Structure 1
């Protein structure tokens, strides 16, 4: 029985194996000549989005949602390959300055557009369910991330922002704006409802917009958005750790979710001590960006998604979870 359960759990992640192999190669070899921000975007395309898709379940009675879900599953990997081809066209194939890299990015824009449509349908068919609103909002934000990626690949200057800002905005929407509402939505599906929960979801929806606006137009607005968003994640991680401590759950789910929370706390601690470390070791923010990015993307986001996938499968097996 245990062997069967182990095989079942392992099979959950089969869809991401090809993408994971590609990402390992990209991060390991200098041949691709990608910037760090571009590597993180590829990581989102090949690993993060496929994991998010594993958390989605469609309503059998809703034909549009079922069709979109099936289409997203089929197109995800080809769309990720378009992201890779788009970046390679300028970095490896020396086609920069042409419209080819921008045209290739449209494949990912299409996929994130489908995720956006799924998110809207999810909000509509679960009207009044705050957790589903949060998950739907996260899926919508993937589309905004796709728009920023296309702007970056077309090398357009828009909203008084240069292409580098577009790349950072795309990473922001793929990793923070989309993922955090999905995490909080997953928590909302299993937790005992609290009076503060709708406020957390509301801030999660508004916060990324404030950050994006602030990145382009106003630093104070960006700081407000970041502060609200960070406080929300602190509340999410604190409640989740308390929940995991009270409940006897599948060990792998607990393990990865705890690691996810700890990774976020390490990011917070490093941020607090950054001024001291900068003076003592003559470090700059450029030295910390890879550390922050890795802890957040590989720690908080990746471990969190794996943990929630294990959690969802465990609760379904024990018949403690009902999507409907």
Structure 2
């Protein structure tokens, strides 16, 4: 028992374990009477962001980046706890009509600002490298997600959009908008140069903005953004699967990255079959939302992040072995 505990603490993913335990309790205990969108936002705060920070651990950092990175690493968990307190105050403590939930949400807003600063620094020192631009943009999108979360907790009506739309916008920027550019940037770091790659990065940066604008102002713009974004993920997953087949990586990395791609294609197939399944099983879109959300959050995003953390660590260890020969 003692040995297994020590092995657990030495695990590469150890920083995400405390948040993972809290997230499991949030999802499965009746005590936490939260909306599904709030549960997924807390999952992002407690699990997804620590894994993103782990993924950035092997970056070449200048002095300013090192300072911001240290602050990100130490402040993530306290900021996530403030996020939980913010949601609890509005849903469980009877403070929804006060400014307390909004004030508590500022902790997460300031933390995502740190992520955004790290992302901007990455872009500034990238020297135009498409992969670094993608990763930097993804980190900046976390900050936009933090802004939407604070607007949601303050229950502000903005641009004719209600707080429920703010919650969905925050979720969009914490998951797809932030994570897909980071994934594509991580792939760009290890793949051979391709002429189409900068275009994928450009679409990946513009797509989330189109989706966000469309959610508030125009459905056609939203559909266009979603289509472009989905096509980008298809390109990313197809190339990644081909790369995994041709290159020997860590077994854990290959397993989790493969699961991530499988989860995306499962979502795509379910979306195509939705009209048929709806008629056969008398289901509504509300029945499918938890399935789509779980496959995307726990399958595509979580497994993908774990896979990339293992991949980057494997490449680093391989490089060190070569240098020591």
TM range (shorter): over 0.9
Q: Quick check: 1:176 aligned with 2:186? A: no
> In the alignment, which residue of structure 2 is the partner of 1:195?
195
Label 1:321 to 1:110 Cα distance change in 2 as closer, same or farther (>3 A).
Answer: farther
> In the alignment, which residue of structure 1 is the partner of 2:144?
144
Label 1:320 to 1:287 Cα distance change in 2 as closer, same or farther (>3 A).
Answer: farther
Q: How far apart are the structure 2 equivalents of 1:287 and 1:89?
A: 28
Q: CA deviation at 1:282?
A: 1.1
Q: How far apart are the structure 2 equivalents of 1:299 and 1:120?
A: 28
Q: How far apart are the structure 1 equivalents of 2:320 and 2:187?
A: 14
Q: Is the 8 A contact 1:112 1:146 kept in 2?
A: yes
Q: Report the 3-state secondary structure (helix = DSSP H, G, I; strand = E; otherwise coil) of the residue aligned with 1:93.
A: coil
Q: Deviations over 1:109-149 (max 9, x none)?
A: 00100100000000111122110000000000000000000
> In the alignment, which residue of structure 1 is the partner of 2:233?
233
Matches of residues 198-277 of structure 1 in structure 2 within 5 Å? 198-277=198-277
Q: CA deviation at 1:59?
A: 3.8
Q: How far apart are the structure 1 equivalents of 2:165 and 2:196?
A: 34
> In the alignment, which residue of structure 2 is the partner of 1:310?
310
> In the alignment, which residue of structure 1 is the partner of 2:29?
29
> In the alignment, which residue of structure 2 is the partner of 1:292?
292
Q: Report the 3-state secondary structure (helix = DSSP H, G, I; strand = E; otherwise coil) of the residue aligned with 2:259.
A: helix
Q: How far apart are the structure 2 equivalents of 1:8 and 1:253?
A: 18
Q: Report the 3-state secondary structure (helix = DSSP H, G, I; strand = E; otherwise coil) of the residue aligned with 2:319.
A: coil
Q: How far apart are the structure 1 equivalents of 2:243 and 2:253?
A: 12
Q: Deviations over 1:189-210 (max 9, x none)?
A: 0000100000000000000000
Q: CA deviation at 1:320?
A: 8.0
Q: Deviations over 1:126-180 (max 9, x none)?
A: 1221100000000000000000000000000001100000000000000000000
Q: CA deviation at 1:8?
A: 9.4
Q: How far apart are the structure 1 equivalents of 2:127 and 2:76?
A: 27
Is there any run of 5+ residues in structure 1 with no aligned partner, and where? none
Q: How far apart are the structure 2 equivalents of 1:73 and 1:7?
A: 21
> In the alignment, which residue of structure 1 is the partner of 2:74?
74
Q: Is the 8 A contact 1:9 1:310 kept in 2?
A: no
Q: Deviations over 1:66-110 (max 9, x none)?
A: 111100101000000010000000111111110000000000000
Q: Report the 3-state secondary structure (helix = DSSP H, G, I; strand = E; otherwise coil) of the residue aligned with 2:94.
A: coil
Q: Quick check: 1:110 aligned with 2:110? A: yes
Q: Is the 8 A contact 1:152 1:166 kept in 2?
A: yes
Q: Is the 8 A contact 2:8 2:14 kept in 1?
A: no
Q: How far apart are the structure 2 equivalents of 1:170 and 1:215?
A: 12
Q: How far apart are the structure 1 equivalents of 2:243 and 2:181?
A: 18
Q: How far apart are the structure 2 equivalents of 1:188 and 1:59?
A: 16
Q: How far apart are the structure 2 equivalents of 1:110 and 1:170?
A: 15
Q: How far apart are the structure 1 equivalents of 2:63 and 2:320?
A: 26
Q: How far apart are the structure 2 equivalents of 1:305 and 1:26?
A: 21
> In the alignment, which residue of structure 2 is the partner of 1:127?
127
